[in-house]
Amino acid sequence: MSADRDIDGWLAERGVTLMDARARARGVLEEAGLTRPGKARMSEPKLLRAAEVLSERFFQVCADPGCIQVASASGREPLRVEPRSHCARCGGSANRRAEVAFLEMCHQRGVQRVVVVGGSPAVREELEAKLSGPISLRMVDGTERRTADRAKSDLEWADLVLVWGATELHHKVSTHYTHLASSHHRKVVHVVRRGVAALLDEAMIHLQRAR
């Protein structure tokens, strides 16, 4: 005999905790014939089908404006979820929201090649894992020697250069990029805040202003 579960509890596990969102989700499940008004429990086999119905109908989204915009353009109905970890776009991560938004803006602005100067090894690995593919990345270790010629090559190659001064970045390395920046001022961004989200937010502000 199949076990059954509390429907509201099951929805809450999926992030559907807000009253309006829960009512909307239940309404769709009732339309699909999987439950009826006033019924509190559902069998496990029906829950599997219910998960498919909700996934096909809704784009689960947090309150972030960027996530809501993507959800609205998805072709599915946006369904507000809490906590943000259930958001289909960002998964509740500020870094992930920034990474997705940055890639979207790069696509809109025709930015294909990005150089990041500085950052810890772990952060550089994260950026390469999350951003490489849609764009080409050059990650410059700010603690290792960099010649002026290599810096010039980076500047000429890139569509965007992020000089991350708040991280592991030696002055001798950053100077190569800042001294040459006058001839490449439209593509060089000096970032003084820490964190991946802050880095990419500064990059997006620069791209918006350069429009």
Residues 68 and 113 reside in one and the same domain:
no
Count of domains forming the chain: 2
Average pLDDT over residues 170-191: 79
Residues 78 and 100 reside in one and the same domain:
no
> Could you report how far apart the first and last alpha carbons of the chain are, in Å?
62
Residues 107 and 200 reside in one and the same domain:
yes
Residues 63 and 105 reside in one and the same domain:
no
Q: How confident is residue 167, by pLDDT bands cut at 50, 70 and 90? A: confident
Rounded CA separation 121/207 (Å):
26
Cα 3 to Cα 43, 46, 47, 122, 203: the distances in Å are: 6, 11, 11, 45, 51
Burial-class residue 120 by CB neighbours within 10 Å (0-12, 13-18, 19+): middle
The CATH number given to whatever domain includes residue 131 is 3.40.50.2300
Residues 104 and 80 reside in one and the same domain:
no
Residues 195 and 109 reside in one and the same domain:
yes
Residues 200 and 159 reside in one and the same domain:
yes
Report the pLDDT value the prediction gives residue 52, as an integer from 0 to 100.
96
Range of the domain at 109: 94-209
Does residue 198 carry a pLDDT above 80?
Answer: yes
Structural domain ending residue among the three candidates 68, 86, 104:
86
Residues 100 and 12 reside in one and the same domain:
no
| 3-class SS of residue 6 | strand
DSSP string, 70-124: HHHTSSSEEEE-SSGGG-TTTTT-HHHHHHHHHHHHHHHHT--EEEEE---HHHH
Residues 14 and 77 reside in one and the same domain:
yes
Structural domain ending residue among the three candidates 60, 86, 112:
86
DSSP string, 119-161: --HHHHHHHHHHHBTTBEEEEE-TTS---HHHHHHHHHH-SEE
Residues 82 and 115 reside in one and the same domain:
no
Structural domain ending residue among the three candidates 30, 60, 86:
86
Residues 112 and 182 reside in one and the same domain:
yes
CA-based torsion, 142, 106, 189, 167: positive or negative: negative
Q: What is the pTM of this model?
A: 0.71
Residues 82 and 176 reside in one and the same domain:
no
Does residue 169 carry a pLDDT above 70?
Answer: yes
